[in-house]
Amino acid sequence: MFRRAFCALALLLGSSAQAQTFIVNSAGDSNDLVDGLLTLRGAIAQANAVVGHDTILLPADIKINTALGYSITDDVTIAGVQGKEARLTSSASVLFNINSDEISVQLENLSLKGTRDNAGVLACGEVMASNVAATDFFEAFKLCQYPVGLTIELSRFHNNRFFLEADLNKGHEASVLINRSVMENSGAFIRSKDADLNVKMLRSRYIAENAEMLVLGSASLQIVDSALWQAKKRTLLRGIPDGYTSPGATMPNYYFPTLKIVQSTITGNKTNHPVIWTEGTTLEISHSTIADNANNNGPLILLDGYSDSYTGVTHGSAEIDHTIIDRFHSTEAPILLNKVDLQARYSFIPVINKKTGSESVSLDSTTALYQGSSAHLGGLITSFSHLPYYLPEIGSPVVDAGDPLVVAGVNGVPVEEQRSSKRVLGTAIDIGSTELNHEPVLDEEGLRADYQDKVDKLEDPDADIWLDLDDYVTDPDGHAILGIVFHSQSELTYTPGPNIVEGHQLAFKAGVMGIVILEETGLSAIKELDWRPKTTSAKAANSSGGGGSLPLTILGAIALLGMGRSRRRRVLAKP
């Protein structure tokens, strides 16, 4: 009765009411003020009627189906429960229609599912999405024509036609930041017709499969500290010019995109198309590693200029800086220039072919010396701690081979390398996305042996045993260990500083344990320990991706890795 009265009062007062928190208690899709239930639709209607930033809380594991979608017209946070996310399935043309550029909307801990021909979120104003999973939409996030500031973090996109669709006309502006997220078999369509459209992908993983990222017109895309891989059918990344004819004009104006790839890894792409293909595009690749890619029907990287028939100007340029392009397969010259000039410095690049013969290629002495040579990389490392990356082998010519005058954090040089550890180790910066620096390791075998030894020596079987994690943590490169964080699903006591784990012998085998290790250069490692007895069925589940899962706090630690050594030292350093 109280809820019905409150809801009715909120609607009557309208703009005079203050911001409120609404707790959804029904998975229905109606808005009935007298049935004693509060649906998501009802909560959004009430939040729209209340001035201020309201909060809508969804219960754990709630499942909601809607054929109508939701219109959001006022500031609001819609939040599920982390680890037990609210699941919303939509057959509406747009699931969340944010139709005002003057509001702020936050979406947290939600799992969204579409029908392959609809949109998940139409974003206007300031939109933040955190821990949002979007599956089977045509456009998971679509930008409106009003000013948009969209931030997506710790989110996952799977089997969408586009994880991001932006198509802005002249006079509009939008910025998009995609941070620590995973895009799988979900492409991007980013087009600007003389609009101010900037998209940045940071510390994220793009698993292309059958999708591709398209950047058109005057749009700008930056890819920083990320991994792009496993394109199977299409070009991984493409830049394309676009024309726009203003009202009353007789000739179109052409606009040309900008692509920047900074300190990222591009690997495992095997298609019948170029991995990177640009036309009239300003392309900059710096401090990156491009390895183990194949185009079975032409060049690996195709750079076309675009000749404007109206002005006679040819657009397009390419710069490669401190980058490795190695271990590739292409049926033609790996890099093909067509009316595009290329500048490369401190890089390992393969053979370059000029289609017209008029293209200019400028190589500094280091790049010219090593052109066509092997960078002597190790295998791809897909550690639990970091996005996929390569390390050079010991003695590789890329080690300390960069510009000896560069300083980390100055003139565009990254402060940290791709794994968020110190960017410059040794006498000079390394070429590629990483410095030669190995992750700290945990001697799991020694830890298990010590555990068993202590159990065997117990006089009282109910007495606690203890293990000192410092005895099993080392760094292959001799760097000092600054901190260790331990978490377990079972009842164990952990004392930071001395890093002692203590508890009953059975508690050590009762749950999944996680250990986060940080060494002095900022490089980190995460180790999952699961000592629980395994049945045959459990082992089978583990082999298919199921089985024990890492505790939520450790998953949070994974997300935080790389956010800055100064912050992590305050959290993890020994006293």
Res 536: pLDDT: 57
Task: Please tell me the least confidently modeled range out of 25-34, 430-439, 494-503.
Answer: 25-34
- How distant is the alpha carbon of residue 18 from its chain centre? 37
In a domain, 39, yes or no: no
pLDDT score, position 532: 84
This prediction has a pTM of 0.89
Token pair in block for residue 352? 């370059």
Given a contact cutoff of 8 angstroms between Cβ atoms, the answer to whether 511 and 487 are in contact is no
| Torsion angle of C-alpha atoms 351, 355, 361, 365, degrees rounded to 10 | 20
Domain ends where: 319, 343, 370?
Answer: 370
Residue 292 maps to a domain:
yes
Higher local confidence (pLDDT), 9 or 327: 327
Q: Mark whether 362 and 445 lie in a shared domain.
A: no
Residue 478's SS3 state is coil
pLDDT tens across 9-34, in order?
444 444 445 789 999 999 999 998 88
Distances (CA, A) of 358 to 340, 349, 361, 544: 9, 20, 10, 54
Question: Could you tell me if residue 44 is inside a domain?
Answer: no
Percent of the chain with pLDDT over 90: 81
Note whether 82 and 57 are within 8 A (CB): no
Write 504-508 long-range contacts (CB < 8 A, 24+).
504/462, 504/464, 504/465, 505/451, 505/454, 505/455, 505/458, 505/461, 505/465, 508/451, 508/465
| Residue 127: pLDDT over 60 | yes
DSSP state of 212: -
Which structural domain, as residue segments, surrounds residue 556? 441-572
The number of C-alpha atoms within 13 Å of 542 and in the hemisphere containing its C-beta is: 12
- Domain assignment present for residue 26? The answer is no
Whether 553 maps to a domain, the answer reads: yes
User: In this model, does residue 511 exceed pLDDT 50?
Assistant: yes
- 549 and 453 in a common domain: yes
Instruction: State the CB neighbour count (10 A cutoff) for residue 165.
Output: 22
Count each helix (H run) and each strand (E run) in the chain, helices first: 7, 46
Q: Would you say 338 and 304 are in contact if contact means Cβ atoms under 8 Å apart?
A: yes
Please enumerate in sequence order all residues whose Cβ is within 8 A of that of 435, keeping only pairs 6 or more positions apart, or say none. Answer: 417, 421, 422, 423, 424, 425, 426, 429
Q: What is the mean pLDDT of the chain?
A: 90
Q: Which residues of 39-54 are buried (b: 16+ CB within 10 A; e: fewer)?
A: bbbbbbbbbbbbeebb
How far, in whole angstroms, is CA 318 from its chain's centroid? 25
448 falls within a domain: yes
Find, among 110, 59, 109, the residue nearest to 89 by Cα: 110
What is the C-alpha to C-alpha distance for residues 213 and 281, in angstroms, rounded to an integer?
A: 14
pLDDT band at 560 (very low <50, low <70, confident <90, very high): very low
Render pLDDT for 158-201 as a digit per residue (tens, 0 to 9): 999 999 999 998 889 999 999 999 999 999 999 999 899 999 99
8 Å CB contact between 449 and 479: no
Looking at the fold, whether 341 and 253 belong to one and the same domain comes out as yes
**Alpha-carbon separation of residue 405 from 287, 411, 424 (angstroms):** 15, 11, 11
Q: What's the chain's length in residues?
A: 575
Q: 155 near 128, Cβ under 8 Å?
A: no
One domain, residues 327 and 190: yes
- Residues 469, 551, single domain; the answer is yes
Mean pLDDT over residues 507-535, rounded? Answer: 91
Domain match, 478 and 363 both: no
> And the tokens for 184?
């799988």
pLDDT at 472: 97
- Both 183 and 292 in one domain: the answer is yes
Q: Is residue 118 part of a domain?
A: no
- Residues 355, 239, single domain; the answer is yes
What pLDDT digit, counting tens, does each position of 272-309 carry?
999 999 999 999 999 999 999 999 999 999 999 998 87
Same domain, 270 and 366: yes
Cα separation values, 484 from 180, 386, 516, Å: 23, 17, 6
Give the pair of three-digit tokens for residue 149.
């500031």
Q: Cβ–Cβ contacts within 10 Å for residue 17, how many?
A: 17
CB 472 within 8 A of CB 447: yes
Three-state SS letters, 529-567: EECCCCCHHHHHHHHCCCCCCCCHHHHHHHHHCCCCHHH
Q: What are 326's two structure tokens?
A: 């190695």
Mean pLDDT of the 483-503 span: 94
Domain boundary among the residues 324, 349, 370 is at: 370
Q: Kindly state whether residue 40 falls inside one of the protein's structural domains.
A: no
Q: Are residues 362 and 450 in the same domain?
A: no
pLDDT digits (tens, 9 = 90+) for 451-484: 999 999 999 989 999 999 999 999 999 999 999 9
Statement to judge: residues 356 and 211 lie in one domain? yes
Q: Indicate the helix (H) or strand (E) that contains 367.
A: helix 365-370
pLDDT value of position 244: 78
- Residue ending a domain, among 307, 336, 370, is 370
Same domain, 363 and 449: no
For 144-161, the pLDDT digits (tens) are: 998 999 999 999 999 999
Tell me the mean pLDDT in the region 299-321: 91
Counting the structural domains of the chain, the total is 2
Distances (CA, A) of 97 to 70, 100, 117, 141, 501: 6, 9, 16, 10, 50
Lowest-confidence region among 19-23, 321-325, 367-371, 531-535: 531-535
Could you write out the three-class secondary structure of 133-196? EEECCCEEEEEEEEEEEEEEECCEEECCCEEEEEEECCCCEEEEEEECCEEECCEEEEEECCCE
SS3 112: strand
Q: Give Cα 16 distance to the centre of its chain.
A: 41
Instruction: State whether residue 568 is helix, strand or coil.
Output: helix
Could you tell me the end-to-end alpha-carbon distance of the chain, in angstroms, rounded to an integer?
Answer: 55
Nearest in space to 41 (alpha carbons), one of 81, 9, 10, 70: 70
Predicted confidence (pLDDT) per residue in 42-88, tens digit: 999 999 999 999 999 999 999 999 999 999 999 999 999 999 999 99
